[in-house]
Amino acid sequence: MGAKTPNILLKLAGISVEFQERVALRHIDLNVEQQEIVAVIGPNGAGKTTLFNVICGQVKPSSGTIHFDGRDITRWSSHRICHQGIARTFQIARPFPQMSTRQNILMGLWFGAGKPYGSPAAQARAEELLELVDLSPKVDLPAKELTLSEQRRLEIARALATNPRFLLLDEVAAGLSPHAIKEMAELIKTLRQQGLTLLLTDHFLTLTSKVSDRLVALDQGEIIMEGKPDQVLQSADVISAYLGERNQERS
Ligand SMILES: Nc1ncnc2c1ncn2[C@@H]1O[C@H](COP(=O)(O)OP(=O)(O)O)[C@@H](O)[C@H]1O
Ligand SMILES: [Mg+2]
């Protein structure tokens, strides 16, 4: 147990999370390999965001272990986990609204990588990240004036500013146009080519089949199926989990 296994970067074993009476995750076993793109899908309330919170140390599991690159990080603080190389974006983008796009990224570099705010090294890295997420023309705009798609890319750049090896993107496609989703898919593939491993959530299933190597379907805190995207999206159990959600919303 806990030994470093070749190619497995993240390993969850028997992870459960409880909030008061409610079980949000139940005995989750999940491995993610180096440079893999895995998407966690499932209806509203399935436990996708909680899974991210527990990996990043923002929520502590009631049982189970999390290993990252062979180290047991289960009880580590979120700050220490970030420094170990795990970064995330949030379901609702949270840029500093009054600051410019560039300043937002400089803040990320300052907090995450300890690069002094505005130093030449930080400036150079900020320009690189802005180009990578295609925001170079928007550097001086206050973040609040960016479109939703641009705000999401800014969040990704800010997460990348902490120099992660593992990136978690929560509902990164929600609310985006088909064109913006295509661009996001390209960005995700580029990030993988640069050596990153990615875990995404995708409630509306708009991005997953375009980029993911593997899908993990969650329902009511449990993994009900995992495998290749086509296989999982055609599964009767997965379809019925989504239809169940629709019925609940109607009632
Ligand atoms: N901080 C919290 N306190 C209490 N219950 C929570 C908390 N976070 C999530 N939950 C509950 O856990 C379940 C899973 O939520 P969540 O992980 O946000 O699902 P998803 O991201 O798949 O929509 C839901 O029932 C939600 O109400
Ligand atoms: Mg969520």
If one compares 250 and 103, the residue with the highest pLDDT of the two is 103
Q: Collapsing DSSP states into helix, strand and coil, what is residue 218? A: strand
When pLDDT is averaged across residues 74-95 and rounded to a whole number, the result is 92
- Residue 100: CB atoms within 10 Å: 16
Query: Both tokens of residue 59?
Result: 């929520």
For residues 38-55, one letter each, b for 16 or more C-beta atoms within 10 angstroms of the residue's C-beta and e for the rest, the string is: bbbbbbebbbbbbbbbbb
Q: How far away, in angstroms, is 58 Cα from ligand 2 center?
A: 14
When pLDDT is averaged across residues 63-91 and rounded to a whole number, the result is 95
Rounded to two decimals, the pTM is 0.93
Question: Is 65 a residue whose pLDDT tops 80?
Answer: yes
Pairwise CA distance, residues 55 & 33, whole Å: 15
Question: Is 248 a residue whose pLDDT tops 70?
Answer: no
Question: Is 2 a residue whose pLDDT tops 70?
Answer: no
Q: How far away, in angstroms, is 173 Cα from ligand 2 center?
A: 12
The rounded mean pLDDT for the chain is 92
- Residue 219: CB atoms within 10 Å: 21
When pLDDT is averaged across residues 159-186 and rounded to a whole number, the result is 94
Ligand whose nearest atom lies closest to the CA of 170 = 2
Q: How far away, in angstroms, is 220 Cα from ligand 2 center?
A: 12
Q: Which of 204, 232, 203 has its CA nearest to residue 216?
A: 232
Confidence of residue 5 (pLDDT cuts 50, 70, 90): low
When pLDDT is averaged across residues 18-25 and rounded to a whole number, the result is 94
216 in contact with ligand 1, CB cutoff 6 A: no
What is the structure's pLDDT at 3?
A: 54
53 in contact with ligand 1, CB cutoff 6 A: no
